[in-house]
Chains A and B, each alone.
Chain A
Amino acid sequence: MFSIQKILSKDDKLFSLLESSAEEANKSIQALNRVLLTPNQLPSLDEFHRSKEADKQITDQINRAVINDSVTDIDREDIELLSSVLYKIPKTVEKIAERFIVSSVMVKDTNFSRHTELLQVATKQVVEMVKQIRKRPGVEQIKQMNDVLQRVEGEADQLILDVLAKLYTSNEDPTKVLALKDLYELLEKVVDRCRDAGNAVTHIVIKHA
């Protein structure tokens, strides 16, 4: 039976799935920050793997929902883009954790506090922005929220330049340089994915304003 309630409940299901995906991304970032801030406790990958797998399942559910039972006025491509970007956050975070573990002997003394601060702000903002979709916010409101992510992404760009400049003049073993460069680039990628998610939400809101 076709009814307004049915439409609304399907929309609600889709928004809840997107919010869960953003929450999983946030959870994985919290776990990563704990690892980076306490490098002497060698982490287990289980938590990261669980987060990524949970997000993968949510992404599959979103993809099925937009094909099979979504009646939302938001374009399928826009939802797919957002869910794909959200999934890439825990996926990249898991990659960082794996590489941190295999290179921990070399990198554990590195100070990642500026990275963890940026990641914290970026993922919280993504969660807040995704939650806004169901409330149909105004363009100005969402743009202001997105500006925070743009600023954080700019800071992350500057940060990678700073840390690489330091690394290139450090006279460290090439292997350590390689391992750290890899970690720095992946950390920047996570912030980029948060920026992409913010842009995807903003695009949806502007389209439906």
Chain B
Amino acid sequence: MFSVQRLLGRDDEFCALLEASAQEAVYSVETLKQVLLDTSSPPSLNRFIEARREDKIITAQIAELLVSALVTSFDRQDIETVAEALYKVPKTVEKFAERYLISYHLVREFDFTRQIVLMEEAVKSVLEIVQAFRANAGIAEIKRLDSRIQRLENEADDVIITFLAKIYKFRGRDVRPIILKDLIELNEKVVDRCRDASGVIARVVAKTG
């Protein structure tokens, strides 16, 4: 039987899963922060793999719900795009950790603070926008939160260029510029995925009023 309550219930199930996925993204960046701050021992990948697996399960649940839900007030494609972008956050963070692990002895003295701060702000902002979306916070609030993530994405672009200016000063047969460039590009990707998820949410809210 079709009812408004049922429709709203289904919408909330989607939102709850998206929120759980955003929480996993926050958790994975927090883990990375701890790893980068503690340079005394090589990082373990277990916690990253765990976060990514958790998020994969949530993304699969969203996909299942999309198949079984006959009616939702959002476009299926939009939900899929947000879920996919959110899943890519812990996935990219895990990739960063893997590469950091294999090059740890070469890059551990490099300061990633600005990248970490940006990633942290981006995942927290994306969690906030998902929560605001779930709470029907309204178009003005969603726009405000989305603008914040867009700003962070612009800042991430600036950070990467400052970082490149630094590593382009390396001379001679030094492999570190290649590793570092790889790592900072992965950091930037995390912020980009947050921007993608937020952009879709802002569009959904603009569409549905």
Contacts and interface: CB of A to CB of B under 8 A. Distances in A.
A and B: interacting chains: yes
A67 B174 CA distance: 52
Given A95-B157, A99-B161, A179 B168 contact: yes
B171 A102 contact: no
A109 B160 CA distance: 24
Nearest to B203: A63
A175 B170 contact: yes
B177 A178 contact: yes
Contacts of B95: none
A67 B164 contact: no
Interface in B148-187: 157, 161, 164-165, 167-175, 177-178, 181
A175 B181 CA distance: 10
A102 B174 contact: no
Contacts of A73: none
B177 A175 contact: yes
A64 B139 CA distance: 13
A103 interface: yes
Contact of B206 (A67, A99, A174): A67
A173 B177 CA distance: 11
A174 B207 contact: no
Main secondary structure of the interface of A (DSSP, over half): helix
A98 interface: yes
A174 B175 contact: yes
Given A63-B203, A67-B207, A178-B181, A98 B161 contact: yes
B189 to A, nearest CB: 14
Contacts, number: 40
A127 to B, nearest CB: 26
Nearest to B161: A98
Contacts of A64: 206
Interface string A99-139: 10011001000000000000000000000000000000000
A11 to B, nearest CB: 20
Contact of B165 (A67, A102, A174): A102
Contacts of A103: 164, 168
Contacts of A99: 161, 164
Contacts of A182: 181
Contacts of B172: 173
A175 B167 contact: yes
A135 to B, nearest CB: 29
A182 B182 CA distance: 11
A166 B172 CA distance: 19
Nearest to A179: B168
Given A95-B157, A98-B161, A102-B161, A175 B203 contact: no
A206 B12 CA distance: 39
Interface in B194-208: 203, 206-207
Contacts of B167: 175
A64 B167 CA distance: 41
Contacts of A95: 157
A182 B157 CA distance: 15
Contact of A178 (B165, B178, B206): B178
Contacts of A174: 173-175, 177-178
B203 A102 contact: no
B138 to A, nearest CB: 16
Contacts of B178: 174, 178
Given A95-B157, A102-B161, A175 B168 contact: yes
Given A103-B168, A173-B173, 5 more contacts: A102-B164, A102-B168, A175-B169, A175-B174, A178-B181
9 contacts: A63-B206, A64-B206, A99-B164, A173-B171, A173-B172, A175-B167, A175-B168, A179-B164, A179-B168
The 6 A-B residue pairs whose C-beta atoms are closest, nearest first, are A102-B165, A98-B161, A175-B177, A103-B168, A175-B170, A67-B206
